[in-house]
Each structure stands twice: as structure tokens, then as C-alpha cells.
């Protein structure tokens, strides 16, 4: 038994299991009068029927693949010009619509023998003419085999479409949820292991309050792990491992769609349905249900408790700052601690992309446009006599156009017509492992403020140096500086080893921070007219005499404190520094 046969047998078993679940649910529905139980059973039956439809589609694909791989998979093609060709296998015969183009000969020649037969060949291989038919296929006809199924059109969906409750793309949804749930389960297991270590640590320390909080988080994490395992098992049982082209949509994994976004999110929670509530006692009221909204594991909003799974005025405005994902967790409070019963994860980039698509569709509908696929399926408006009208109609605001005559006046399937500039997403989303939630969302992405046009230097990100505190002493303007090489104090002669010191902004006189109050020498950058005439002057003014010398060792300038370079030193260079 090859892989295809094993896959077919596995799909058969899955279909039989879903049928058994439907029979059991139908029997349960007839045996109870509880409206809540009946609604939950109806939801299970509806989901099982949808699963059966998906599995039967996969079964058909596997069977066609098996037939295509077999050597004798189909009847042999009729001979050209034979008596049976015009009756059954010719153009317009009963089998022409079933198998598509006429099959080529089995010898592998595609077009060499497609010249048809204008009569049986006579002596010498020449046609006698007048007895045959036209060539069965043009030289550029469809080269597919007669038993090859017509390829399907590539579905156009986004990841937000896959997490909707009524999504028709069940196969891609299964693949998406398998990868997402496996990742969430691994993260939650790591979180649970960390909490267990905290519980043991608080137990050893004897901190009862911290231990109680950690124990509550451990219980909640354990419940989340069980829910994630249940959801993962549900999709694993439905998954059929065959190679299809539906999961190869590279646009869903584009890097620019996964970067963190910043903006403003508006969310309104309406109701939940078909969830598995926490069990309560027989004579007690139902559990109180509330929902917590998290953005990157940070709680941003919480609804009020409800016993009828509906909320009227639960509208939240959430500021998003470089975040990727929103998590909605449904809790039931039946005892001391709330119990999680359902999850929903929505990527912010998917919301932004859906908003963009809806805005474009709304603009097209207001202008009277219809997409090509809708027009091909009869989605355009019908004119008089039942004939479809042209797509290129004037906008609905034109004065000569009657209301309702536009090609896109009606609403597209599943997409309500947007009449105002505010585009919102309102639909039912699937909860994991069971149930659905009704949400209305709108996200306004915040883009960086554009810089005005500047004809200057265009120095982007230029940093101005902070003005330091200036201390004046003997004409010097000392500021605190950080030196990254060995300097020498001009006052005490000691070294500044990679530390801060005081340096004059004018003459570069350098000393320790503790030495600048003791400085008695004047700043050499000051003119004689700037010196206070009433100040006591030094009676001796002995001029310096400089001479050239070769600096071989480590010597520092006695004024600026920098290390002198090796080699001959000119007097003028030292004169400005002393």
C-alpha cells in the first residue's frame, strides 16, 4: 500500500468518525429540552458537516491523484476517422464536456498526428478525401490529458479571513492554526515551568501571599495548556497531509506585514456563542463570563461580567505602541478563581491589511465598479431584458443615473457596503478550542511625522553638545571635560588617568577638578587691556626662551597636559601651549 492509499484510508476513517459524532449529537438533541444544550449540539452538528465537506473534497483530490498515477486510468481514446468518433467521442458528443480536449495518441506524439482525417488513406498513403472530419484540435490547443481535472483558481484570502468563523478556506485555516497552536503551547509550557519554580521558591522562603499568587497563576497556566492541547488535537484530527498549492501564498509571510505597528485600536465586543462554559451545580445560576484583552501580554481592557454571553456597551479605545498581536481570553467565574474557556489571537498587521482592502472595496462600490470575478459569476446588475449591464457605469452621484442602476449598487457577498469614510471590521471570529465571538474593530495606523522640507544642511539626527557649566578663575573659563587618555595636571604635575578634569575653553589650560581653585596664572588668551588694572600685578615677568629638542621619552605639556609627540619640537608650537 503506497502513501496515497494510506491517505485515502485515513480520510475514510475521519469521515466515518464525523458521521458518528453527528449521529450521537442528533440523539442527544432529541433526548433533552435544555435550550442551551440544544444550541451547543446544533453547533457541533454544523461543524461536523462542514468538516465532512472538507474531508470529502480532500478524498476526491486523492482519488484523482491516484487515477492520474495509474497506467490504465481511463478508456483508450477513439481512433480518428473511425465509426465511433463522430457518435460518441467527437466535438459536441456526450463525453466532450466531461473530459475536455480530445486526448492525444498513446505513442507520445502531441501534434504530429493531429492533422485529422480527410478520408481513409489510399494507395501510397495519400488521402482519398471527402470521407473524414476536420482536425480534432488546433496546433495550439489545450495539451492536458482528457482525464486531467481543470485546475482551480487560486483562492484570495488573508490570515484574518482564516480566523473568521464562517471562512470557506478550511484547509489553509487548519495549517495556520496547527503552527500557531504549537507555538502557543510551547510558550505556555515554558511559562508554566517558570511559575512552578517560583512556587517552590516562595514555599522555601515561607512567603504565603506571594506563594498564593504564584499558585493561582500556576493553576491558570495549567488550564490554558489543557485548552491549547484540546484545540491542537481538533485540528490535528482534521489535517490531511497532502501537497496542495493553497498553503504556498507567500504574500501572507511578507516581512513588511509582520513588523510591529503603532496606532490606535477601537474594539467593541458584542457577544459570544457556542462556548464550553465551566460546569456549575445543578440549582445554581450560570457562570459569570468576562473577556480580557491583552496586547503583547499586557492587559489593556476588561469587560463586565455577563450571564447571557452578550455585552451592550463594551467599547474600548486602545493605544498600540510597536505591538504585533492582540489576545482575547474568555473567562468563566464559577468558583474562587476565573477559568479560561476560549482564546482568540489577532495580528495587528492583519487588521491593518483588512482595513486597507475594505477601504479600496468601499471606494470601488461607491464609484459603481464590480470586480472581474463577481461579474463573471453574475454579480453585476441586470438591466432590462435580463441582460447584464456594463461595469463602466457613472458614479451613483451622477444626476442622470437612477438609484440602484449602478453595477456595484448591491453589496458584495459577505462584505457590507460602506457608506461613510469610517471603515470597520464587524464579523464573528472563531474561538479556540470551541465557540465564536462577535467583534467590531477599527485600527488607525500611526505613521512617523514627516519632516518639513529644509533647504539647509539636511543634517538628519545631528546632536548638539550640551552646554557645560562655566567657572571663571583668573581669566580662565573652566569647564568639566572627560579625558580618555593619560593627561597631566598643569598645577600639581600629577596625572589624570582616564578621568574627568577642568579645562579652559580659551587657552586649553588643564588641571584636576580639585586644583582649579588654586590656579594663579592668567589666561594667555586675554589681552592686557582686559586685565583688571586695580588687581595686584606680579612684579617679575621673566620671558620664556625655547629651543628645539628631540622628544624621545614620555613628556607632557606643562600647560594643556597632552602627551607630546615623538621627534623634534619647534619652539613656536610650544610657545602657544605654555
Assigned domain for 131 exists: no
Residue 565 has pLDDT above 90, yes or no: no
Q: Decide which of 409, 429, 445 is a domain's last residue.
A: 445
Per-residue confidence (pLDDT) for residue 85, from 0 to 100: 38
Say whether both 297 and 434 belong to one domain: yes
What pLDDT sits at residue 535? 53
For position 299, which CATH number holds? 2.60.40.150
Render pLDDT for 478-493 as a digit per residue (tens, 0 to 9).
998 888 788 889 888 8
User: What pLDDT score was predicted for residue 396?
Assistant: 43
Q: What backbone torsions phi and psi does residue 429 show, to the nearest 5 degrees? A: -110, 150
302 and 427 both lie in a single domain: yes
Question: For 19-28, 77-86, 363-372, which range has the lowest pLDDT when averaged over its residues?
Answer: 77-86
435/354 same-domain check: yes
| Number of domains observed in the structure of the chain | 2
Residues 340 and 481 in one domain: no
pLDDT for 359 beyond 50: yes
Tell whether 476 and 366 lie within a shared domain. Answer: no
**At 8, is the pLDDT very low, low, confident or very high (cuts 50, 70, 90)?**
confident
Distance of CA 332 to the CA centre of its chain: 29
pLDDT tens-digit series, residues 402-441: 343 433 333 333 444 444 457 888 999 999 988 899 999 9
* 168 in any annotated domain: no
pLDDT for residue 107 is more than 80: no
For residue 152, being part of any structural domain is answered with no
pLDDT band at 282 (very low <50, low <70, confident <90, very high): low
Domain CATH code at residue 499: 3.30.60.20
Q: Tell me the sheet residues that pair with 172.
A: none
Question: 401 Cβ partners below 8 Å, 6+ apart?
Answer: 393, 394, 395
Q: Find the mean pLDDT for residues 126-150.
A: 51
pLDDT classification of 560: cutoffs 50, 70, 90: confident
Evaluate whether 438 touches 271 at the Cβ level (below 8 Å).
yes
Residue 328: its pLDDT value, please?
93
Same-domain pairing of 264 and 333: yes
Query: Which residues lie across from 496 on neighbouring strands?
Result: 487
pLDDT band (50, 70, 90) for residue 316: very high
Residues 342 and 304 occupy one common structural domain:
yes
Structural domain contains residue 74: no
Range of the domain at 355: 259-378+391-396+418-445
What is the band of 151 on the pLDDT scale with cuts at 50, 70, 90? low
Res 326: pLDDT: 92
Mean pLDDT on 367-383? 59
For residue range 515-537, list pLDDT tens digits in order: 888 888 888 876 544 555 555 55
H or E element, residue 444: strand 436-445
Same domain, 423 and 278: yes
The yes-or-no verdict on residue 128 having pLDDT over 60 is no
**Within this chain, do residues 435 and 519 fall inside the same structural domain, yes or no?**
no
The verdict on 430 and 481 lying in the same domain is no
Task: Please report whether residue 192 resides in a domain.
Answer: no
What is the spatial distance between Cα 155 and Cα 568, in angstroms, rounded to a whole number?
81
Is there a contact between 215 and 241 (Cβ–Cβ < 8 Å)? no
Q: Is 169 inside a domain boundary?
A: no
pLDDT at residue 379 above 90?
Answer: no
Please tell me whether residues 308 and 437 are part of one structural domain. Answer: yes
In degrees and rounded to multiples of 5, residue 162 shows phi and psi of: -75, -25
175 within some domain:
no
Same domain, 369 and 476: no
Let me know if residue 79 belongs to a domain. no
With contact defined as beta carbons under 8 Å apart, do 232 and 283 qualify? no
Amino acid at each position: 500500500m503506497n502513501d496515497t492509499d494510506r491517505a485515502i484510508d485515513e480520510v475514510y476513517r475521519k469521515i466515518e468518525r464525523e458521521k458518528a459524532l453527528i449521529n450521537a449529537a442528533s440523539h442527544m438533541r432529541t433526548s433533552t429540552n435544555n435550550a442551551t444544550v440544544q444550541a451547543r449540539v446544533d453547533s457541533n452538528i454544523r461543524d461536523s458537516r462542514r468538516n465532512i465537506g472538507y474531508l470529502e473534497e480532500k478524498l476526491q483530490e486523492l482519488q484523482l491523484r491516484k487515477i492520474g498515477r495509474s497506467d490504465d486510468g481511463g478508456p483508450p481514446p477513439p481512433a480518428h476517422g473511425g465509426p465511433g468518433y463522430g457518435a460518441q467521442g467527437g466535438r459536441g458528443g456526450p463525453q466532450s464536456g466531461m473530459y475536455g480536449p480530445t486526448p492525444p495518441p498513446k505513442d507520445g506524439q502531441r501534434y504530429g498526428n493531429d492533422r485529422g482525417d480527410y478520408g481513409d488513406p489510399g494507395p501510397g498513403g495519400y488521402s482519398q478525401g471527402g470521407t473524414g472530419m476536420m482536425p480534432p484540435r488546433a496546433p495550439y490547443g489545450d495539451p492536458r490529458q482528457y482525464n486531467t481535472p481543470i485546475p482551480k483558481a487560486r483562492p484570495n484570502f488573508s490570515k484574518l479571513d482564516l480566523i473568521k468563523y464562517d471562512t470557506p478556506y478550511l484547509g489553509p485555516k487548519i495549517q495556520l492554526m496547527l503552527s500557531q497552536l504549537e507555538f502557543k503551547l510551547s510558550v505556555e509550557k515554558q511559562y508554566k515551568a517558570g511559575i512552578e519554580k517560583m512556587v517552590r521558591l516562595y514555599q522555601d522562603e515561607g512567603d504565603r501571599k506571594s506563594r498564593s499568587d504564584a499558585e493561582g497563576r500556576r493553576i491558570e497556566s495549567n488550564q490554558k495548556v489543557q485548552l491549547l492541547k484540546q484545540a491542537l488535537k481538533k485540528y490535528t484530527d482534521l489535517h490531511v497531509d497532502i501537497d496542495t498549492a493553497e498553503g504556498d501564498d507567500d504574500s501572507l509571510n511578507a516581512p513588511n506585514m509582520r513588523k510591529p505597528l503603532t496606532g490606535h485600536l477601537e474594539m467593541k465586543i458584542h457577544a459570544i456563542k457556542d462556548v464550553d462554559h465551566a460546569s456549575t451545580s445543578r440549582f445554581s445560576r450560570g457562570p459569570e463570563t468576562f473577556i480580557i484583552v491583552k496586547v503583547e501580554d499586557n492587559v489593556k481592557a476588561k469587560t463586565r461580567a455577563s450571564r447571557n454571553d452578550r455585552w451592550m456597551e463594551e467599547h474600548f479605545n486602545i493605544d498600540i505602541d510597536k505591538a504585533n498581536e492582540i489576545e482575547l481570553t474568555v473567562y468563566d467565574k464559577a468558583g474562587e478563581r476565573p477559568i479560561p474557556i476560549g482564546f482568540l489571537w489577532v495580528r495587528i498587521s492583519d487588521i491593518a491589511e483588512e482595513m486597507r482592502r475594505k477601504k479600496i472595496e468601499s471606494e470601488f462600490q461607491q464609484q459603481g465598479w464590480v470586480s472581474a470575478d463577481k461579474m463573471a459569476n453574475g454579480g453585476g446588475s441586470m438591466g432590462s431584458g435580463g441582460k447584464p449591464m456594463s461595469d463602466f457605469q457613472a458614479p451613483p452621484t451622477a444626476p442622470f443615473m437612477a438609484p440602484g442602476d449602478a453595477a456595484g449598487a448591491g453589496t458584495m457577498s459577505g462584505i457590507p457596503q460602506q457608506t461613510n469614510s469610517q471603515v470597520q471590521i464587524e464579523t464573528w471570529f472563531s474561538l479556540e478550542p470551541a465557540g465564536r465571538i462577535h467583534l467590531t474593530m477599527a485600527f488607525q495606523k500611526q505613521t512617523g511625522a514627516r519632516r518639513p522640507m529644509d533647504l539647509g544642511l539636511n543634517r538628519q539626527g545631528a546632536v548638539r553638545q550640551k552646554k557645560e557649566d562655566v567657572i571663571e578663575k583668573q581669566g580662565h573659563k573652566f569647564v568639566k571635560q572627560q579625558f580618555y587618555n593619560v593627561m597631566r595636571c598643569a598645577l600639581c604635575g600629577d596625572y589624570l588617568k582616564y578621568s574627568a578634569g577642568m579645562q579652559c575653553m580659551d587657552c586649553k589650560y588643564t588641571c584636576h577638578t580639585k586644583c582649579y581653585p588654586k590656579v594663579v596664572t592668567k589666561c594667555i588668551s586675554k589681552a592686557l587691556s582686559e586685565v583688571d588694572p586695580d588687581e595686584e600685578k606680579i612684579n617679575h615677568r621673566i620671558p620664556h626662551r625655547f629651543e628645539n629638542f628631540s622628544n624621545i621619552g614620555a613628556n607632557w605639556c606643562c600647560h594643556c597636559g597632552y602627551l607630546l609627540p615623538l621627534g623634534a619640537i619647534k619652539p613656536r608650537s610650544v610657545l602657544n601651549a605654555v
